[in-house]
Structure formats: structure tokens, C-alpha cells
Amino acid sequence: MHIRAFLAAEVAADIGAQAKQVIAQLSDGTRDVKWVDPTSLHLTFKFFGETDPRDIYRISKTVQTVIASFDPFMINVQGVGAFPDLRRPRTIWAGIATGADELVQLQSALDKALLAEGFPCERRRFHPHVTLGRLRDGRGAGQLVDGLNAVRESVFGAMQLHELVLFSSELQRSGPIYTPLATIPLGRDAPES
């Protein structure tokens, strides 16, 4: 049986609390969005999809080797946007103001090392963000656009990125259940896992 796996950084609880307020403001009157549980927010670096459980150790060791050369750094979660854009929102996200360049460098190094291990690169260019919700269909887009414009400048807070987590994701009717498979610290002085 395969594991639906992804690599991410967990978002600090105080940032999740701010996200909860923004989601409450945006969801007022907009029922066509599937919002992410604010206690489960994360910044995804790589989605592996259905993965053979025997590959989990190899993925973890590759990630550990790569991120050992990256010291922990601060990121600032700020601003609200949407993919593909604010006029046609499909995915609503919180942006990264400080630390975005470091996140791009980290993701690029991970993608390159994991490609060498046989895991394909991401198809889309990496845009560091924290997903807040996804529009189920286009019916509520007009109302959502007004709400997005009202919260565009939201400040969620800062946190130190000091570890990545390899998660499994089990899809349920109530929403996905994320289970940590491996926690991998950044930095040369990180203990062996």
C-alpha cells in the first residue's frame, strides 16, 4: 500500500491564529471555498504523491543531506493573494515577505537532489506560500475577489524555519489527516535522525 507523501514546513501556531481570523473574514458569505484547517497550515516544498513506503527512508536521508547545509532562517508570512491571480482566484494563499529567496534556494536544492534519486521535479515554478483555501468552482469568485482585496495587506507573523517534515496525507471527507513520518532539522549541527 502506497503513502501519499509531501515535504513541508509546519507553520507556527501564532501565524495559524492570524490565518484563522483572515479565513473567518473571507469565508463570511462565501461558501464555495474549501478552507484549510488553520491548525494544519504548512508551506509545501515537494509533493511526492503516491509513494512506496520503502522510499520514505531514502527521501528522508536525501532531504537531511541537502538541508544540513542550510542554517535556520526567519520567514515572515504576510499578504494574501490567489492563483492564478486575484481576478480569477482558484487557490487563496498567504505570502512570504521575508525569507522567500532562501525558501526558493532551499526548494531548488531539494528538487535537484531528489531528482538524482529518481523523484521528478515539480512542474511549476516554486512560489513560496501557505495555502489558505481552494475555490470549489467559479460561482463564488466575484464575492471572494472583494474579500481578497480587503485582506491583501494582512500580516500573519514571523517564524524561524528550523526543520522540515515529511508527512503522509490521508484524504477524509472532513479533510486530510497529516501524519509526520520524519522531522529533519536544518543546519550542520543538526543531530542525526
CATH number reported for the structural domain that contains residue 141 in this entry? 3.90.1140.10
* Res. 189: pLDDT tops 60: no
pLDDT at 190: 47
Whether 53 is covered by a domain: the verdict is: yes
pLDDT in tens, 73-124: 999 999 999 998 888 888 999 999 999 999 999 999 999 999 999 999 888 8
Whether 30 is covered by a domain: the verdict is: yes
Highest mean pLDDT among 19-28, 59-68, 171-180: 59-68
pLDDT at 173: 77
Whether 190 is covered by a domain: the verdict is: no
Taken in order 69, 72, 73, 77, the sign of the CA dihedral is: positive
Whether 193 is covered by a domain: the verdict is: no
Whether 192 is covered by a domain: the verdict is: no
Whether 42 is covered by a domain: the verdict is: yes
Mean pLDDT of the chain: 90
pLDDT in tens, 20-62: 999 999 887 677 888 999 999 999 999 999 999 999 999 999 9
Whether 191 is covered by a domain: the verdict is: no
Query: Cell for 44?
Result: 509545501
| Structural domain range at position 40 | 3-185
Tally of structural domains, the chain: 1
pLDDT at 139: 64
16-50: b (≥16 Cβ within 10 Å) or e: bebbbebbeebbeebebbebbebeebbbbbbebee
The Cα 116–Cα 121 span in angstroms is 10
pLDDT at 193: 45
Q: Enter the pTM of the model.
A: 0.90
- The band of 168, judged by pLDDT with boundaries at 50, 70 and 90, is very high
